[in-house]
Amino acid sequence: MTPRMRIPLLLAGAMVVTAIVASCADPVHDQLVESLGPEDPSIPEGQYHRAGQPCTACHGPEGPAKTQFSLAGTIFWSGGVAQYSGSVIGVNNAVVSVEDALANTIQVQTNCVGNFFVTPSTYTPAFPILVGVFEGPGNQYTARMATEIGRATSCAECHFDPVNYDTPGHIFLTGGAPPEAEVNANSNCPVDPNLADSPTAALP
Amino acid sequence: MKMNARFVGSVTLAMAIAASFVVVAACGPTPDPNRVTNIYTPDNAFEEYAGGGAQVGVDGFLAARCATLDCHGQIGRPLRLFSQDGLRIVDDAGNYPGGAPETESEIFANFTAAISIQPELTSEVFAGNYDPHVLLLLRKPLQLERHKGGPVLQPNDDGDTCLTSWLSGNGVDYTACGNAAQYK
């Protein structure tokens, strides 16, 4: 084969390889990750970061996070009367109770910003699942989901800010103002548990 | 050497032919915006779909079990379902998930979505010419066709009975629809 013949074949081969490599990317997932914006500089990457965001956008099978979650989300106290102009404080030590279609259950506690997560090795639910959240003595504060979850693995896939035709807003444990004693008890949190103080608060 | 030249020529010719097919296919006729597909349903199809009072119709079942925000309660779905706790129709009412009860407009939009997935075939099923199980509305949840949400119905269970009784035109089984709307 002469060099002149090789060139078109090499070009065709390069085009095929380029097409295959390009088809391996998922632009929808990439855009979702991109839409979450940068980290809040005041909160290091870890269990307290990105409260209220769709955790498994990054902590899912497509990454880019190294750890993978089978379920994750954030629980907040109500922001008070003006739901979204007031504080949006994470609930510490709330119990998130999950029951899946095979009646397998798990209970997970939230950390001080309200984040909770479950790894696939601990529990991978068979959808649909039913979820309730409980906190306080005798489960004084209780919120149960009105619907089952069909397949979402992050609360914030559906529960994001602000309330609109397609979202009920964040998950709030109370309808009124946050209970002061509970919020004060959360003052040892290593990061600010008030989402409203975060520069990324407006992000989904 | 001659064979190689022929090979390269053949590849080039094949690529040119393939490209010409793509170009010709891309030049199809412009869709007619005035074209209408009629869907023929029994007179009481919407009443049975909607239910009312103590009777849970087909909508009560679909709204409870299929219309969650992470499934068919999404605006881009071919079977897009509105519900009180899921997606809300955008209108002056300004409803949001978990707010006011499902509106008449939302129920009618759900009815339209359910019968429009396969309009011609749905008309034939309502006319009694085919078994309801030829429709994607049943084949998907029964996992006879790929369904991203998995098998959410089993043959002859309450959900299957609810949809089948409605589509067969023999009177919807409100009891089955009511049972199917419950979380188990």
- Chain segment A141-177, per-residue pLDDT in tens: 899 999 999 999 999 999 998 889 999 999 988 877 7
Give dist(CA A145, CA B85) in Å, integer: 10
Shortest distance, CA A120 to any CA of chain B (angstroms): 19
Q: Does A81 touch chain B (CB under 8 A)?
A: no
A1: which chain B residues are within 8 Å (Cβ-Cβ)?
1, 4
Residue B152: C-alpha distances to residues A3, A129, A150, B170 (Å): 60, 12, 10, 24
* Identity of the residue numbered A199: P
For residue A10, give the 3-state DSSP assignment: helix
Confirm whether the ipTM is greater than 0.90: no
Instruction: Output DSSP code: residue A45.
Output: S
Q: Does A10 touch chain B (CB under 8 A)?
A: no
Choose the mutation target among B80, B87, B96 for the interface with A, i.e. most A CBs under 10 Å: B96
* Cβ–Cβ below 8 Å for A147 and B5: no
Q: Could you list the pLDDT tens digit for every one of the 184 residues in chain B?
A: 455 677 777 878 888 888 888 777 777 778 888 989 999 999 999 999 999 888 999 999 999 999 999 999 999 888 999 999 999 999 888 899 999 999 999 999 999 999 999 999 999 999 999 999 999 999 999 999 999 988 999 999 999 999 999 999 889 999 999 999 997 6
- Of the candidates B4, B12, B95, the beta carbon closest to that of A165 is on B95
Residue of B nearest to A100 (CA): B184
Give dist(CA B69, CA A184) in Å, integer: 34
* Cβ–Cβ below 8 Å for A158 and B98: no
pLDDT of A203 higher than 70: no
* Cβ–Cβ below 8 Å for A166 and B74: yes
pLDDT confidence of residue B168: 94
Residues in B 130-159 with any Cβ partner in A closer than 8 A: 148-150, 152
* Cβ–Cβ below 8 Å for B68 and A148: yes
B150: which chain A residues are within 8 Å (Cβ-Cβ)?
127
Q: Does B106 touch chain A (CB under 8 A)?
A: no
* pLDDT > 90: percent of chain A: 53
- Is the bond into B119 cis (omega within 30 degrees of 0)? no
Shortest distance, CA A44 to any CA of chain B (angstroms): 30
Q: Does A124 touch chain B (CB under 8 A)?
A: no
Residue A86: C-alpha distances to residues A89, A164, A177, A192 (Å): 9, 18, 9, 15
CB A188 within 8 A of CB A25: no
pLDDT confidence of residue B71: 95
- Chain segment A64-109, per-residue pLDDT in tens: 999 999 999 999 987 554 444 566 888 999 999 999 999 999 999 9
- Chain segment B52-81, per-residue pLDDT in tens: 888 999 999 999 999 999 999 999 888 999
A2: which chain B residues are within 8 Å (Cβ-Cβ)?
1, 4
